[in-house]
Structure formats: structure tokens, C-alpha cells
């Protein structure tokens, strides 16, 4: 079968890098290519009308691909393309492999997982049923497999059956976080599938609940009482998972990880659970990295259930983080590959890699611009503001704006636009993120990276 022939349109500066990229990509993606070099340094500055005037005659190609950042109506190219389809490519030529679905061949088959996420709704008895359902639906949408109802110690929740039935009515799986035997029994009869937790205080009652339970030690620091609880559950034929209890940093964190290893040694085939919220909620750090590390530990030793909360502000996206993390660690462990360059959604504060134009290109660009529209860049610790009259650099957006306004009368719309873009560029510099004018910064799973901003510059 004849391979499609694609004509890539570019400027003089990007031509060598584009040819190098296409030489390898065309083989993997199955197309032939040619390159049309326009008489302009940076093709993304060209409009479709300008390209129509400068594009050489097109023959024997199946598609024309323009730089992603060039502006204008693609229909303006129709008279010279003789019905050849034309489209915009990615904004950066280094994204061409991703554009053609060949970004990372080693990622094929990515996305599987075998860790169950239990999302706890804290103080469930205090919530109106409507609020409980709202939180549960969101948790499910974020990736939770089981909704865990956190009961209040010291009181008995009279509405536990109603709550469980309401959740089950929406097709949600439910667990109950309680040591109270009455709450556990009523919740299980209403459709709860798991009770967290049992030890010597309530293990004998578990045989009457008709659901699985989580077994915990009487004394987590020594695993004291765990063997006896497990023996009782086995005798009563109660399905169970084991949670040796994760401790916070400063309160035995390292030793508690060791107890998970010890339980796995003693019970090599047992189902296990880890309450990751004991670390994420109680450590002054964004939760994503902690969640990934803990799930890596769980994946390696066969812990197939994790319990999380989203109470403190830095944990507000823990369910989504765990949903991505379980896929990342599963792929890494199954394929025996590093968990790197696989899951951009978990890289939020900074970007996976920085892309720079370099001083030479920015200087050349500034010399060639002939219109008043501003081009903004942020790299190597500096903000750049460029148009036909100026090439300003600095680190303070306010100072740069003052320099601009001292030389050019700026109306309110353009003032707002410059202020917005400079603030965004400053954030990118501080966080080592890529700044692209008129595009949102990338925030991983927290962002809407596909959204366009309306350019006013």
C-alpha cells in the first residue's frame, strides 16, 4: 500500500530540527514527507494569508501540515492547494511524535491496574444524605472503586442503613469505617461489602455480618493480637484483608512499613490494605508524590487495596492521584521499566521537560518583527517582551509593563492582556514550567491543558 505523502511547512530556523524529527518519525508512523521552507525565520509568526502568498506550488501530496501556532483561516489556502487537505500540527515540532500517536512506543498497553481505591467520606453521620451522595458521586468520578463511610467513634449512627441503601441504589460499592458492632451489622445488611476494622474487641461478631472485614493488630507497634484475630476469622470463614497500620513520620513510619513486609512474609497469599491518608493528610507536602511512592510500595509487595481521604487542602486531589498512580506503578512493575516519562498527569508543579528557544533565536526574531503585536517569552530566568519597537528583558512584570507603557499608548484591553500574560510567564519562570503565549500553563491532572486563551495581542 502506498504511504501518504505529507508536506510540512516551516521556517528557516526550525528546518534542520524538523527534518531530523521527520526522518525517524516517518518510518514509525508510515508516511512520506517533504518540507517547504518559507522565507521567514519563525513560521509560527506567519498568517495563513501570508503563507498562501509565499508557499511554493503544491503537487503530489496528500496533506499539508502547518505549524500549530500560525494564525488565520485555513480556507485562505484552498485556492493554491487544489483540494489537498490542510491542517495545523502541534505547537512545537517536538510534539510531532505525540501528534501521530508515536510519542512513546513503550507505553503501549498502559492503563491497567489491580489496586482498589477506597475513598473515605469523613464524619458521614453528620452529613445530610444529599451531601453524602454528592461527595460519593464525585469520588466515584475521580476514580474511587468503593465509598467508605467514616463513622464517628463514641456514637451509634442510626441512619447508617439508609445511607448505605442510598449509595447502593446509585450503583456504588460501600464500606464502613467503624468498630461498632451495631453500625457494622446494620450497614452490612443494607449492602455494605466491607467493614474497617476488626481486632479482639469485635472479631467474634464479624461472623454474623455477612461481609468482608479488615483485620488490624491490637497493638500496631508489635502486630500484637493480629494472629489471633486472623485465626478467628479463618475459623468463622469471614473474608478479610490485613492492615498492619501505616504510621505518620515521627511516630514510627519506617517501622510500620517494615510491619507490612513482615505480614506479607507471614501471610504470603493474604489480601492486604494500606490507609495512605495516615501519611498524606499528616505531612506538609503536596500529596501526589507521597501517593505514588506508597502505591509503588503496595504494588511491589501485593497490597491491593488503599484507603484515602481528601480532608486537608493539599490532599484535595488524592483520589485522582491514586487513580493515575496505580496505573503507573502497575505498568512499571509488570514491564520492569522505570516509572518515568509515562504519566504526565502526575507532574503538576513543574513540567516534565523545558523547551527553550535560546538567546540567538530570540535576538534574531526581535530583529525581524515588523508589526506592533507583542511576542512574549519566558526562559533562562528572564521575561522577554518583543515587538517591532522593542526587545525588553527582565524579571519583574511590573517594571516591564512600565517600560512598555512609557513608549506605547496601550488601551485597556491590551493592558489587561499584557498583564495576564506577563503574570503567567512569571509563574512559569518561578516553577520551571513552559510558557507559551496565549496558551494555559500545564498543570497535569489539575489543569485544562486543551483550553485556549483568547489572544488580544
Quick one: 206 and 75 in the same domain?
A: no
Q: Please tell me whether residues 22 and 171 are part of one structural domain.
A: no
pTM of the predicted model as reported, rounded to 2 decimal places: 0.83
pLDDT digits (tens, 9 = 90+) for 270-319: 999 999 999 999 999 999 999 999 999 999 999 999 999 999 999 999 99
Lateral strand order in the sheet of 273-275: 240-242, 212-215, 194-198, 173-177, 146-150, 116-121, 305-308, 273-275
Q: Which residues of the chain have pLDDT under 70?
A: 1, 103-106, 449-457
Is residue 143 included in any domain, yes or no? yes
60 domain-assigned:
yes
Domain assignment present for 140: yes
- Chain-centre distance for alpha carbon 101: 19
CB 75 within 8 A of CB 47: no
In a domain, 354, yes or no: no
The domain spanning residue 13 has which CATH number?
Answer: 3.40.50
Name the residue range of residue 57's domain. Answer: 5-103
Q: Are both 253 and 328 inside the same structural domain?
A: yes
Q: Summarize pLDDT for 98-136 with one digit per residue, the tens.
A: 888 776 556 778 999 999 999 999 999 999 999 999 999
Residues 337 and 363 in one domain: no
Last residue of a domain, one of 49, 70, 103: 103
Which residues touch 425 (CB under 8 Å, ≥6 apart)?
A: 376, 377, 378, 383, 397, 435
| Residue 164 lies inside a defined structural domain of this protein | yes
212, 265: one domain:
yes
**Helix, coil or strand: residue 214:** strand
Q: How many domains, the chain?
A: 3
Looking at the structure, do residues 164 and 268 belong to the same domain, yes or no? yes
Write down the pLDDT at residue 59.
Answer: 79
Domain boundary residue, one of 103, 125, 149: 103
Amino acid at each position: 500500500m502506498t504511504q501518504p505523502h505529507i508536506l510540512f511547512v516551516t521556517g528557516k530556523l526550525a528546518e534542520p530540527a524538523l527534518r531530523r524529527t521527520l526522518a525517524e518519525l516517518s518510518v514509525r508512523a508510515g508516511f512520506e514527507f517533504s518540507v517547504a521552507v518559507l522565507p521567514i525565520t519563525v513560521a509560527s509568526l506567519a498568517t495563513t494569508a501570508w503563507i498562501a502568498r509565499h508557499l511554493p506550488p503544491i503537487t503530489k501530496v496528500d496533506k499539508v501540515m502547518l505549524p500549530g501556532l500560525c494564525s488565520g483561516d485555513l480556507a485562505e489556502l484552498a485556492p493554491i492547494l487544489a483540494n489537498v487537505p490542510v491542517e495545523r500540527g502541534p505547537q512545537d515540532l517536538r510534539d510531532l511524535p505525540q501528534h501521530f500517536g508515536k510519542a512513546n512506543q513503550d507505553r503501549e498497553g498502559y492503563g491497567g491496574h489491580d489496586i482498589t481505591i477506597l475513598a473515605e467520606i469523613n464524619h458521614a453521620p453528620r452529613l445530610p444524605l444529599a451531601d453524602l451522595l454528592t461527595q460519593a458521586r464525585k469520588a466515584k468520578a475521580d476514580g474511587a472503586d468503593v465509598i467508605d463511610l467514616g463513622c464517628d467513634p463514641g456514637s451509634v449512627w442510626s441512619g447508617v442503613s439508609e445511607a448505605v441503601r442510598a449509595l447502593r441504589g446509585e450503583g456504588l460499592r460501600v464500606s464502613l469505617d467503624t468498630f461498632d458492632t451495631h453500625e457494622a451489622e446494620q450497614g452490612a445488611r443494607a449492602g455494605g461489602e466491607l467493614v474497617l476494622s476488626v481486632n479482639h474487641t469485635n472479631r467474634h461478631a464479624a461472623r454474623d455480618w455477612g461481609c468482608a472485614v479488615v483485620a488490624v493488630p491490637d497493638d500496631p507497634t508489635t502486630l500484637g493480637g493480629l494472629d489471633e484475630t486472623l485465626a478467628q476469622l479463618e475459623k468463622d470463614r469471614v473474608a478479610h484483608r490485613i492492615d498492619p497500620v501505616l504510621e505518620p513520620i515521627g511516630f514510627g513510619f519506617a517501622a510500620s512499613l517494615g510491619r507490612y513486609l513482615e505480614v506479607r512474609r507471614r501471610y504470603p497469599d493474604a489480601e492486604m490494605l494500606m490507609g495512605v491518608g495516615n501519611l498524606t493528610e499528616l505531612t506538609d507536602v503536596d500529596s501526589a508524590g507521597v501517593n505514588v511512592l506508597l502505591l509503588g510500595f503496595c504494588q511491589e509487595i501485593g497490597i491491593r487495596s488503599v484507603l484515602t481521604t481528601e480532608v486537608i487542602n493539599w490532599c484535595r486531589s488524592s483520589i485522582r492521584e491514586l487513580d493515575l498512580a496505580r496505573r503507573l506503578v502497575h505498568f512499571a512493575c509488570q514491564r520492569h521499566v522505570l516509572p518515568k516519562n509515562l504519566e504526565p498527569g502526575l507532574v503538576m508543579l513543574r513540567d516534565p521537560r523545558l523547551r527553550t528557544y535560546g538567546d540567538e533565536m530570540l535576538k534574531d526574531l526581535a530583529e525581524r518583527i515588523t508589526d506592533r503585536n507583542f511576542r512574549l517569552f519566558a526562559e533562562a530566568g528572564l521575561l522577554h517582551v518583543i515587538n517591532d519597537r522593542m526587545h525588553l528583558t527582565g524579571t519583574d512584570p511590573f517594571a516591564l509593563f512600565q517600560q512598555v507603557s512609557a513608549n506605547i499608548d496601550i488601551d485597556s484591553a491590551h493592558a489587561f492582556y499584557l498583564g495576564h500574560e506577563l503574570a503567567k510567564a512569571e509563574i512559569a519562570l518561578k516553577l520551571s514550567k513552559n510558557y507559551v503565549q496565549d496558551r494555559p500553563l500545564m498543570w497535569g491532572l489539575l489543569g485544562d491543558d486543551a483550553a485556549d486563551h483568547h489572544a488580544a495581542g
